[in-house]
Amino acid sequence: MEHFATWLINTYPLSSNNNRQLLQHGLRLFRQGNVIDAYVEETSIIGKIQDNGIKHVLIDTEITDLSRCSCGLNDLCAHQLASFLTIWSQTKTIASLIDSWKETSDSTPLSMENPKKSTTYVEDSLTSWLQFLENQHEQFKQAIPTKNTYLTGLTHAFFPKIRLVAPKKTEIRPLFLLHASFFCMKKVVACYDNSQPYQYIADILHRFVDIVEEEAKGLFHSAIAFQLDSLLNESRQLIRSELLEQEEPFIREWFYVYQFTWNDVFQRRNWMTTELKELENYRSLQAELAKTHLLFLQKRDEEALKLVKEYEDVYAPYLFHWIQALVLHKANNRLENWLSVSLPIMTKYIHSEPTYERKRQLTKHLLKLLSDFSLHMKQDAIFLEALRTLLPYSYGEYEWHLFERKEFRKWVELQLWMGFELNGLETYKLNQIKKADPYALFPLYHTAIHKALEQRNKTAYKEAASLLNVLHSLYKKEKLEDVWLQYLFQLKERTKRLRSFQEELKKGRYSYD
């Protein structure tokens, strides 16, 4: 509660007449018993106030911008204040709070209230935007009671608040929000150290990367507007500079920003030739990735793929976006060339990922792209090769593909290769194979019988005898009775010391002699 009290006193100084009226209204509601209910739940205060109807209050004491009241006010209201005063009075006196409030207000110069520089910006000036964002960020940091809430607040409080004050002009607003997202990304990365898990930071970064992508698409048509020329040129240089200066482990996120802005914004101004010349002065992974993307956009695939071959494994994570772009644009001839170089690199990369979940995620994504390509090209050689080389992570897609194509013998081979047991397979699929190609199931039943016998117990022997009955029916369907008898004779010879199993054979529905 002390953190929220400090924020309240600093944010709403009593030197302001409006804030004094707010305090008076809140005190009146509190003292007259209008607070029906107020309680603490983790870091929140939840209240119910009688004031011209019931008002429902939620105060987040750590991320104050998430607080709200059903009265509809965006700022702190008297209902929220009355709820806080109720909770405060349970452990401390209201008089002590108001005394501290008055003392702090008396020592705060009036000029510090709503400083003009933090609430305004020049609508067509990137420098002004960035200064405005920095000032707003400083205010946000001061309002956050603990460092633990900073990153959550940046996502759920700071950026939504910036969105509300973004320019209204449709041709400028997306660029402003793009820079606001990029600004937040830099603040997030600045928090990364050994105490913060990489994946936590990366997940937050990707939320802002998604916003950059969305706003870049919103700029697609307005990027050719003459009045944006200066803003876009400054933006181009800033984004390139930030990419080139970024270090691992977040180069990927910065490169995504570079990709998205060049896909939909900067190339509309025909700056690619100039950009490539400026990148020639740099020799780093970041610069080479940027060059490759610009060559890709210019359809200079031979030069781009030369860089892919040179860097191979290092480029692996970035190849997915280029392949996806070609699939989306149905650029099948180009895609074939890119896949011939990229697919082995991507496959190797997937197998090297540390967790099964990540391997499966990337496999699923890649196979979806290759499936779309196969449908357009009406040939599936590349898709099938990927299904095979990405096993076991491609099992779901490969199994479905084989079954739908009625390649039942290969389907059975796949189950055996994966080590799946007969009783774990879907019954309706087994029944369909029994009707269409009984011979395909022979290896599955032979293996299941062998594994049952290895368990050396009566339950397993009964299971083996039951499986033999099914297998016998399959041999009959294939008119292979002579082969069946030979198999049965050899089985009885091998198991003649297993008396319990021999008994099961004698009890069997069929004669085995």
Q: In sequence order, what DSSP letters do the residues of 95-154 get, joined into one string?
A: HHHHHHHHHHHHTS-GGGSS-GGGT---TT-HHHHHHHHHHHHHHHHHH-SSGGGHHHHI
Residue 288 included in any domain: no
Measured CA to CA, the distance from residue 156 to residue 301 in angstroms comes to 41
Domain boundary among 405, 420, 441: 405
Q: Does residue 362 sit in the same domain as residue 488?
A: no
Residue 292 included in any domain: no
367: containing domain: 299-405
Q: Does residue 170 sit in the same domain as residue 81?
A: no
Residue 387 included in any domain: yes
pLDDT above 60: residue 260: yes
Q: Does residue 125 sit in the same domain as residue 262?
A: yes
Q: Does residue 254 sit in the same domain as residue 357?
A: no
pLDDT above 90: residue 405: yes
Residue 201 included in any domain: yes
The DSSP bridge partners found for residue 37 are 48
Residue 512 included in any domain: no
pLDDT in tens, 281-292: 898 999 999 999
Measured CA to CA, the distance from residue 505 to residue 513 in angstroms comes to 10
Q: So what's the pLDDT on residue 1? A: 73
pLDDT band at 94 (very low <50, low <70, confident <90, very high): confident
Residue 362 included in any domain: yes
Q: Does residue 392 sit in the same domain as residue 418?
A: no
Q: Does residue 376 sit in the same domain as residue 459?
A: no
- What's the total number of domains in the chain? 4
Percent of the chain residues topping a pLDDT of 70:
95
- Return the percent helix, strand and coil in the chain, to nearest 5: 70, 5, 25
Residue 344 included in any domain: yes
Residue 194 included in any domain: yes
Domain boundary among 109, 132, 163: 109
pLDDT in tens, 325-348: 999 998 988 999 999 999 999 999
Q: Does residue 191 sit in the same domain as residue 97?
A: no
Q: Does residue 158 sit in the same domain as residue 270?
A: yes
Sequence-ordered list of residues with C-beta below 8 angstroms from that of 324, at least 6 positions apart, any chain: 369
Report the chain's mean pLDDT, rounded to a whole number. Answer: 88
Q: Do strands 44-50 and 68-69 pair parallel, antiparallel, or not at all (unpaired)?
A: unpaired
Measured CA to CA, the distance from residue 472 to residue 483 in angstroms comes to 10
pLDDT band at 512 (very low <50, low <70, confident <90, very high): very low
Q: Does residue 462 sit in the same domain as residue 393?
A: no
Domain boundary among 344, 378, 405: 405
Q: Does residue 384 sit in the same domain as residue 367?
A: yes
Q: Does residue 364 sit in the same domain as residue 495?
A: no
The string of DSSP codes covering 25-40 is HHHHHHHTT-EEEEEE
Closest by CA to 376, choosing from 320, 321, 323, 335, is 335
Q: Does residue 76 sit in the same domain as residue 98?
A: yes
Length of the chain in terms of residues written = 513
